[in-house]
Structure 1
Amino acid sequence: MRIDERIASRHRDLSPQERRAAATLLEHLDDLATYRAAELASLAGVSKATMSRLFRSLGYADFGEVREQLRESRHGGEPRLLRGGADLPAHLAREAEALRRAVEHPALTPAVELVASARRVLVVGWRNSHPVALHLRQQLAHVRGDVRVAPVPGQVLGEELADVGPGDAIVLVGFRRRPAGFGAFLEAATETGAPVLLLADPTAIEHARRATLWLECSIATELAFDSYAAAMSLVSVLADGVLTACGQGAQDRISGISRTYARLAEIEA
């Protein structure tokens, strides 16, 4: 249980001083890991002994265990406010390293070949992965035909898998904080006989064992929220590779799409 859940479940059993200390913890929940136990006691107006008793009452050995739990929740994608503001140089360095690792991934070349040669491509992504899936579908649709994205609003995925089989390809975007049914969908996707390309961060390592290919891309940052900058860039690199692999046919398709844009006046001149 998270610390806020523990406080809620045991609040009735806390002493008045412990309740006062607990209220301070809840007020500073977003940046709790940046404090020391003595600082929290001072903020609450209680003794360090009272704060220590509170942690034990909540089932923790000490504040160090609380901080470790909070760090783990951030590693799992939960936003956490950073005390003192963002370390932008460190953030930019981490972004650059994430992108470098992603575009140098050994699975990129076979991923390009898979997407370029497939009869049809189904791109799937939920929650924060859905914009990445949409972006990939939009770029691939310029260079090859029969590229779909799922899920679409108001629909489920059973219908989407019904037409997929050997010779097709499924691109599954699955960055952390995935929905509970992610593993079940991946299993159903592999049963279609179509190869599955998984685009995900390192937390998907267990899912990656069932995928045909895994393009690993980190989204961890020095900031409170995950960043999808490297993921979006990787999508562009993947689409660029597919454009090259599809050759003149892709160029002709792009030209035809541009002519349609002009005829329908859909794009600003």
Structure 2
Amino acid sequence: MRIDERIAHAHGDLSPQEQKAAATLLEHLDDLATYRAAELATLAGVSKATMSRLFRSLGFADFDEVREHLRALRTAGEPRRVDGSPDLAVHVAVEGEAIARTVSQAALRDAALLLAGAGRLLVVGWRNSHPVALHLRQQLVQARAGVTLAPLPGQVLGEELADLGPGDAVVVVGFRRRPQGFAEFLDAACATGADVVLVADPTALPLARRAGVWLECPVQGGLAFDSYAAAMSLVSVLADAVLSARGRPARDRVSAISRTYAALGEVE
């Protein structure tokens, strides 16, 4: 198992200090091998002994073994940085692996049923997560009514949450380099009584327990910038599952929308 998968698998059994150390490892996966174990402990605000216990809990003898693990991942097509022009074939292979690792079937089913049956549905995403949230909203609105997107330009979120309650749902898209206040928003969304689905990369694992459904989706690939190919693929699969879950009403809505497109001449 990859180190991020090991952290996800063991997270519930880790002590609070080990979870804090694990969050630091996830934040620095791209350049983890450039640090010493003591430096990582300082970054995490934990003791060197805690960091060593974490390595053992993850199945590594020590940090040297972690470095070897990371080198093996890069050899398999996940370099930390790219020198010169990227190899397109390697990039495609890495993207395919990321898509294959995205989310479990059970979590996908649970999320689809929540989104299909919710009264109101709010989709939220900031920064690089916003295009993913926008695409998800655009797909879901084909299958059901009452889907809104936030934040929009000039918009704050308090009034959006004020309308939500039990029977509603919020999809929070939160890929890494999330804005300050992200955790507080997640708590506020949960406090409304609405069901919360969190879509994010493994660095959001410490927040996953706050959500009702956790859809883990990797964005780290072989290039210098994060890749959202797996995230967009997840949007397509999730929207398709919602369409199927809603059945005939969703198909009737798709037909009605298509007739409206034709009447207005909006699409070719």
CA distance in 1, matches of 2:184, 2:224: 30
CA distance in 1, matches of 2:110, 2:81: 39
| Structure 1 position 223 matched with structure 2 position 239 | no
Aligned 1:161-180 pairs, distance under 5 A? 161-180=161-180
Aligned 1:1-269 pairs, distance under 5 A? 82-102=82-102, 104-268=104-268
1:83 Cα offset (Å): 1.7
CA distance in 2, matches of 1:210, 1:104: 18
Runs of at least 4 residues off by over 4 Å: none
Structure 2 residue matching 1:225: 3-state secondary structure: coil
Deviation string 1:196-218 (CA, Å, 9 cap, x unpaired) is 00000000001112111100000
Structure 2 residue matching 1:140: 3-state secondary structure: helix
Deviation string 1:165-206 (CA, Å, 9 cap, x unpaired) is 100000000000000110110011110011100000000001
CA distance in 2, matches of 1:215, 1:263: 38
Deviation string 1:85-142 (CA, Å, 9 cap, x unpaired) is 3243332222111111215443111011010010111000000000000000000000
CA distance in 2, matches of 1:243, 1:103: 19
CA distance in 1, matches of 2:105, 2:259: 36
Q: How many residues align?
A: 192
**Matched-pair contact (CA < 8 Å) for 1:87–1:222:** no
CA distance in 2, matches of 1:103, 1:96: 14
CA distance in 2, matches of 1:157, 1:120: 15
Question: Match for residue 5 of structure 2?
Answer: none
Q: Who wins on radius of gyration, i.e. which is larger?
A: 1
Q: 1:100 to 1:81 in 2, by over 3 A?
A: closer
Gaps of 5+ in 2: 1-30, 32-66, 71-79
**Matched-pair contact (CA < 8 Å) for 2:124–2:151:** yes
CA-based RMSD of the aligned residues comes to 1.7
Identity of aligned residues (%): 65
Counterpart amino acid of 2:113?
A: E
CA distance in 2, matches of 1:246, 1:82: 44
